[in-house]
Chains A and B, each alone.
Chain A
């Protein structure tokens, strides 16, 4: 899952990014309102965490513009402006959630998870596919009672494939979902990632869960 953090406090950006990445999210950060426009316009993100008071262009203007352009990405406003009228203004402009600073990091993460579930229309944090069970709240995949030890990138790739069950996800799409910040991942690295994932699933008793569609990508049936 890919999250964009638009926040002018660099230290806040850094800590949130670090925490979300350790939770398996792919995170981009931008601290300027003018630059944020192009990030938002890319449409790559599952959730955007948006501060309101930004240099260059304020958060409400960004939100108004993205909704006017038909961009339906879920937006969580993260602001120190905690008065009722501020929250109403943000929600009425199309924000999906509003969190007031200061906040608990785990609450932020839980709200981002909830927005991801809404994006994929899943009401429960549990994804199930046959014997495979994925708890998106604690980011844990298991078969029966046996937990599968996955890396953050492996988990993100598996969750993405399961959420898009029956659909082919290209290598580029998997790269976007697993890449962190400005780090580059090659297509070979995706093949290595899928290979490792297949091996762990096979050890857990699911040898043929991930299929390859040559020239297109991967899918789970």
Chain B
């Protein structure tokens, strides 16, 4: 079988490549998304844990920030905020290479800062705007520490807790403040904390390396496994391809078995088998046609050659030679009809038979054709006149062949007639003759080229092309043709759909 036409400069992609590349790409994308999501989850979790540590520091620092009542003896005329921080209890806030930082604000004024935070240094890189800070909800962000290390910062607005000087019971302290300082708002403070995030970053780096390793391993697995898996999956296609490749013009009877093929390929096998069936039928038809043509031409050629050679070898035998000449004329006439029919069919099939539609009196035409074919034995049953639209040349061939058929078949007895009937817009032409040897099962073959009831093809007058040609021409004219065989073995051919011409 011939390979399909391809661009010679470009090698066509194989199905394995077509499957492998998108499959690898899709799996890689899924892997990337999955690993990215995993990295996101791990990062979120680790950061949350890290932030929980920051939050613990915030809670610690807010827990030691007190709202004290005024104490003039101690020099506090108004309620004030006290930060009871002891560096020894929280050494991480001391200055050093691993120091943590904090900074306490009340309004815009700094109340306290860690020892690790140098003078003039500030922690949280964003400006302090207490109104925008939710109360009790810390905000986190990543920013370098004052010593340059990567750090994570937290800031939280909070209400310093009442000192127990306000009241013995905690529940009474807010009430006492409101009673003593009516209209005054309880003071708020903001605490910033920052610690180095080196440990978190290292852990995240390890996790990312691990995930990248997993991704690389997955890629390797994809590259190694997907092509053989694709090849294995496509083995049925290769088998089908091999099987189809083995089929040539001499093996058109071979069929591709559907068993063992995957469901997707079974319709392909079915379609190929259907195609092979049609191809085989076409080949058989062509072979039969060639064989018939050869026979139809070889036999008369053999007859002519034999007649001429034998006649030429004994020219003195005038009686025999006169008989041979008569035979030669009859044979030449038969060949002429066969060749004319073949040429007409070839022209019709190749679309080189132009139609010339004209207005024709069909009754008059039929009378002329019957006369031309010396068909006095065929009774014409028709109205006086019937004008139709037809191609005169095609009409002559159609009617001529039908008349010759009707005249030459049967044993001479029985009724032969040509009947023309017309409805409002169309006419029907039927020709009938007795056909004692014809059987109903012969009817489907009557339009086959070279088909003859007598398989020996010994009927010298016909070659079996007439009805094929009639069928082809009737179809081209857009008319219909039907064959019928009655119980009394009357054979009829009816051509219908002939358009009646307007007056």
Q: Which A positions have Cβ atoms within 8 angstroms of B?
A: 8-12, 14-16, 18-19, 22, 31, 33, 53-56, 58, 80-83, 100-106
Pairs of residues from A and B, 4 with the lowest C-beta to C-beta distance, nearest first:
A101-B302, A8-B458, A11-B327, A102-B302
Query: Which residue from chain A places its CB closest to the CB of B331 in the assembled complex?
Result: A11
A97 to B455, CA, bound (A): 24
- Please report the C-alpha to C-alpha distance between residue A178 and residue B351 in the assembled complex, in whole angstroms: 60
A101 adjacent to B301 (CB under 8 Å): yes
Residues from chain B with a CB closer than 8 A to the CB of A102 are 298, 301-302, 304-306
Say yes or no for B324: interface residue by CB 8 A criterion. Answer: yes
Task: Assess A53 versus B455: contact at CB under 8 Å? Given A11-B330, A80-B298.
Answer: yes
Q: Which of A14, A54, A80 contacts B299 (CB 8 A)?
A: A80
Q: Which partner residue on chain A sits nearest B330 by CB separation? A: A11
Contact across chains for B314 and A55 when beta carbons are under 8 A apart: no
Given A11-B331, A58-B456, also A81-B295 (CB < 8 A): yes
Q: Which residues of B contact A56 (CB under 8 A)?
A: 456
A160 CB, nearest partner CB in chain B, Å? 23
Q: Is the CB of B302 within 8 A of A103?
A: yes
Complex Cα gap A104–B304 (Å): 11
Q: State whether B323 touches A14 (Cβ < 8 A).
A: yes
How near does chain B come to A101, taking the closest CB pair, in angstroms?
4
Q: Which residues of A contact B313 (CB under 8 A)?
A: 19, 22, 105
B38 within 8 A of A: no
A83 lies within 8 A of B306 (CB): no
Secondary structure at chain A's binding surface: helix, strand, loop or mixed? loop
Q: For the complex, give the distance between the alpha carbons of A91 and B98 in Å.
A: 110
CB distance from B41 to the nearest CB of A (A): 78
**Which residues of B269-293 have CB atoms within 8 Å of chain A's CB atoms?**
291
Q: Are the CB atoms of B309 and A80 closer together than 8 Å?
A: no
Residue in chain B with minimal CB distance to A33:
B456
Give 18 new A-B contacts, CB below 8 A, not counting A9-B299, A11-B330, A15-B306.
Answer: A9-B458, A11-B303, A11-B327, A12-B306, A14-B324, A14-B327, A15-B310, A15-B311, A22-B317, A31-B458, A53-B458, A58-B456, A80-B295, A80-B299, A82-B298, A100-B298, A102-B306, A103-B302
B310/A19 in contact, CB under 8 A: yes
Give the interface size bracket for B toward A.
Answer: 20 to 34
- Chain A residues with CB under 8 Å of B456's CB are 8, 33, 53-56, 58
A194 to B302, CA, bound (A): 38
Q: Is the beta-carbon distance between A104 and B309 smaller than 8 angstroms?
A: yes
Residues of B within 8 A of A11 (CB): 303, 307, 324, 327-328, 330-331
Tell me the bound Cα distance from A97 to B311 in angstroms: 25
Count CB-based A-B contacts (< 8 Å): 93
Contact A53/B295 with A11-B327, A12-B302, A14-B327 known, Cβ cut-off 8 Å: yes
Contact A81 B291 (CB under 8 A): yes
**Given the complex, which residues of B lie within 8 Å of A9, measured CB to CB?**
299, 302-303, 458, 460
Given that A11-B331, A80-B295, A102-B298 are known contacts, is A16 also in contact with B455, CB under 8 Å in the complex?
no
Residues of chain A with a CB closer than 8 A to B310's CB: 15-16, 18-19, 22, 105
A55 to B299, CA, bound (A): 15
Instruction: Kindly list chain A residues whose C-beta atoms are within 8 Å of the C-beta of B305.
Output: 102-105
**B309 and A19 within 8 A (CB):** yes
Q: Which residues of A contact B304 (CB under 8 A)?
A: 102
Cβ–Cβ < 8 Å partners of A14 in chain B: 323-324, 327
Closest to B294 in A: A80
Known pairs A11-B330, A15-B311, A105-B309; A53 contacts B457 (CB<8 A): yes
Smallest Cβ-Cβ distance to B305: which chain A residue: A102
Q: How far is the CB of B183 from chain A (nearest CB, A)?
A: 123
What residue of chain B has the Cβ atom nearest to residue A105's Cβ?
Answer: B309
Asked whether any CB of chain A lies closer than 8 Å to the CB of B371, the reply is no
Across the interface, name the chain A residue whose C-beta is closest to B457. Answer: A53
Within 8 A of A (CB), among B308-344: 309-311, 313-314, 317, 320, 323-324, 327-328, 330-331
Give chain B nearest CB distance to A146 CB in angstroms: 25
A80 surroundings in chain B (CB, below 8 A)? 294-295, 298-299, 302
In the complex, A103→B307 CA distance in Å?
11
- Kindly list chain A residues whose C-beta atoms are within 8 Å of the C-beta of B488: none
**Complex CA distance for A11 and B310, rounded to whole angstroms:** 12
Residue B88, interface by CB 8 Å: no
- A58 vs B324: C-alpha distance in the bound complex, in angstroms? 27
Q: A15-B324, A19-B309 are in contact. Are A83 and B301 (CB under 8 A)?
A: no
Of the candidates B304, B455, B458, the one having the most CB atoms from chain A within 10 angstroms of its own CB is: B458
Shortest A48–chain B CB gap in Å is: 17
List B contacts of A31 (CB < 8 A).
458
Chain A residues with CB under 8 Å of B324's CB are 11, 14-15
Chain A hits for B307, CB < 8 A = 11, 15
Chain B residues lying within 8 Å of A54, measured Cβ to Cβ, are 456, 458
Kindly report which residue of chain B lies nearest to residue A101, judged by CB atoms. B302
